[in-house]
Amino acid sequence: MNSSHVEAETEKLCYENVNGSCTKVSRVFFEQIFLYIAFTFGIVVCVSGNLLVIISVFYFKQLHSPTHFLVMSLALVDFLLGFVVIPFSAVRFIESCWYFSDYFCILYTCIDSICSLASIFHLCFISIDRYIAVSDPLIYPVKFSVPAAGFLIFLSWVLAITPTLVIVYPSTNNNGREEFVADLPCKGSCQITIKRPLVILNLIMFGVPLIVMLVMYSHIFLIVKKQARMIENTAGKGERVETYYNRVAKREKKAAKTLGVAVGAFTTCWLPFCIGTVTDVIFNVSTPLTAYQFFYWLAYFNSALNPLIYAFFYPWFRETANLILTCKIFIADYTDTNLFKE
């Protein structure tokens, strides 16, 4: 009994001499330094990668198209997530305490939810854009104009903001803030209690875009295969056929690989977190803390992957990134640079 009392006294708390304070996880100094360096590197990659996409599409005139505007808006979402949300999440994870105000906890939770949902909906609408482009390339410029892209960007933000405001905004008034703080497990935590209606809503918000993406990309893959067979059958004979066929085969393989990476990355990053959250609430189980934290950061990791998947895979981005990083755009006018030379 005396030993347990001594252990309780030596426990580190987030806020000393505060009733109901959260217990702080003790980390050795070198572990803290390593985590801060690792998270800083990840944040820099996320922020800089998405910022390069934003500058590229905004600066170079040849990228002023509906598709690239969608990609730029997606990069803006992930930039905000990496610049505003992830740093505070990293501090909370490393220190195991929330040292910022309760009101900022509400604001942080709201921005986190909006950016995460907006990122998902942007990915969904990009899949729709690519399906239209592949299935009907001749009519695509008419169907998917700049106003259409603007509407989808607007819709992505509305679909992300509306449920967040419905759930979180009532906490911004005095009574709501008291209820929000009361729902926190302890002082020094910014982990809201996830209730069944919220879980169901998150499941819908994740499930519907995922199904749309899988359907769109499956159709795209089938269309690409069909077009490749048609080109093969209508091409000439001899060496010309072999050369043309090889070129088409490479294009089909590249398209299939890109689509597979896009769908696989999105599913891999988000599905474990959503399944863990749904399982905990609906089946009344508790996911181990280590597993939950891994799933949590894996979902965030998707924001750093997006510029790699949707931009770094394309030659035009490598060229624009080179011009930006070498500061050439500040020395001469490169706005009319031809980025699609093939």
CATH classification of the domain holding 219 = 1.20.1070.10
Residue 205 backbone phi and psi in degrees, to 5: -65, -30
Exposed, middle or buried: residue 197 (CB in 10 Å: 0-12, 13-18, 19+)? exposed
Instruction: Give the residue ranges of the chain where pLDDT is below 70.
Output: 1-11, 167-185, 192-196, 227-228, 230-260, 310-312, 341-342
pLDDT of residue 302: 86
For 282-294, b/e burial (b = at least 16 CB within 10 A) is eeeeebeeeebee
Distance CA 62, CA 337 (A): 7
- Is the residue at 258 inside a domain? yes
pTM over 0.85: no
Domain assignment present for residue 126? The answer is yes
Distance separating alpha carbons of residues 197 and 170, to the nearest angstrom? 16
Query: What is the length of the chain?
Result: 342
Q: Is residue 336, in this structure, part of any structural domain at all?
A: no
* pLDDT at residue 236, as a whole number: 52
In this prediction, residue 173 carries a pLDDT of 53
Tell me if 334 is assigned to some domain. Answer: no
* Residue 300 in domain: yes
pLDDT of residue 95: 87
Q: Which domain holds residue 56?
A: 2-329
Where residue 327 falls (left for φ over 0; alpha for ψ -120 to 50; beta otherwise) is left
Q: What is the model's pLDDT at position 185?
A: 67
Per DSSP, helices labelled H in the chain are 2-10, 29-59, 66-80, 86-95, 102-135, 140-143, 146-168, 174-183, 196-234, 239-282, 289-307, 315-325
Domain count, the chain: 1
